[in-house]
Structure 1
Amino acid sequence: MASPQTATKSRQTKPGSKPARKSARAASRSPDAISLLKADHKEVKSYFKQYEGLEDVAEKQALADKICRALTVHAQIEEEIYYPAARAAIDDDDLLDEAEVEHGSAKQLIAEIQAMTAADRLFDAKVTVLGEYIDHHVKEEEKEMFPESRASDLDLKALGAQLAERKAELMAKAH
């Protein structure tokens, strides 16, 4: 798999060209990387909160599917773009290693949820536990990793534009 830097190089355009101007405009409109990731966190947290209040099996199924899709895309953009950039910019391999392991656990639970229906006996429990995993993971990112990234020399604006572009691609495929 190409590194984020390699992927960027293959898409480089001439300064001042129409694609370069379009890309620059998109970057100026995009939130920085941390703002984008925090917005994702907030959105998914609201989904889990909504899920708690649901009784209808079809509504639970639809919302669980939405949660799984959002988390899958979020984890992928973090793993492809944000984590490699953060690993290069901050000196905290343990924190990044833990985040990767947490993603692995979440992905396993997502796969189990996706293989079930909302009528299955352990469905609600698995969605609840996934929410707890994600809550823990989000706290570590927002209290430790994000502040370290802000304090580093990471170009969070450019990284945010990359994340937004990749997220849009993946969400389009997911629908």
Structure 2
Amino acid sequence: MSTAIAYEDAVDLLDSDHKLVQKLFIQFQTQHEFGASPDDRRMTAERICAALTIHTQIEEEIFYPAVREATGDDALLDHAEEEHQEAKDLIARIQGMGPEEDGYDECVQQLAGAIMAHVMEERERVFLQARYSPLDLRGLAVALFERKQALKSAAGGVPELPSEKTPEQMEEQS
């Protein structure tokens, strides 16, 4: 029995992660500008870091190798993995700091800039190559979704991130 998921394909699933993180970065920026408490900013930053950690892991374990095999574009995917490493380094810095420390908000904002640049490049290049390749993006979406759920469970859940919705749950909300 295959898993029913509320995504059209792998690109849709990954891009929904991008959109969630973008909303969280906007929330963090608003908190920064309006002087939210360090605890509120820390919680938002933790959500960002957790979501990005899982997202980069499923891309590196499943999506990138599949796209690499289907397209043979090693340079593009090597570059994407270098950008992931930059994000991982920033996440480690954020996680090693307290929200009251000088440079904390700036580090989160630096991560936001790096991620938004990566997302634009990924949408314009990696996702397009994946769509024009012979990859089974629908089947790949299931593998990505299942791995994502396993990583969330292993981490004890992601702090206050919405759970993935099944098609049935989405219909109930309509």
- Give the equivalent residue in structure 2 for 1:83: 64
TM-score normalised by L of structure 1: 0.84
1:21-43 CA-partner distances (Å, limit 9, x unpaired): 2x2xx157554100000000000
> After superposition, what is the alpha-carbon deviation per residue over 1:77-104, rounded to whole angstroms, capped at 9, x for unaligned?
0000000000001132111010000001
TM-score, normalising length from structure 2?
0.84
Please name the residue that 2:16 is paired with.
39
Higher helix share: 1
Which 5+ residue runs of structure 2 have no aligned equivalent?
A: 158-174
Aligned length: 152
SS in 1 for 2:135: coil
* Aligned twin of 2:121: 140
Q: CA RMSD in A?
A: 1.2
Question: What is the alpha-carbon distance in structure 1 between the residues aligned to residue 6 and residue 80 of structure 2?
Answer: 28
The answer to whether the Cα contact below 8 Å between 1:32 and 1:157 also exists between their aligned partners in 2 is yes
Q: Which residue is 2:28 aligned to?
A: 51
Superposed CA deviations along residues 134-170 of structure 1, whole A, max 9, x for unmatched, are: 0010001101110110000000011000000000111
- The equivalent of 2:146 in structure 1 is 165
Inter-partner Cα distance in structure 1 for 2:40 and 2:103: 16
Give runs of ≥4 in structure 1 deviating > 6 Å. none
Partner of 1:68: 49
Match of 1:153 among 125, 134, 144: 134
Select the structure of larger CA radius of gyration: 1
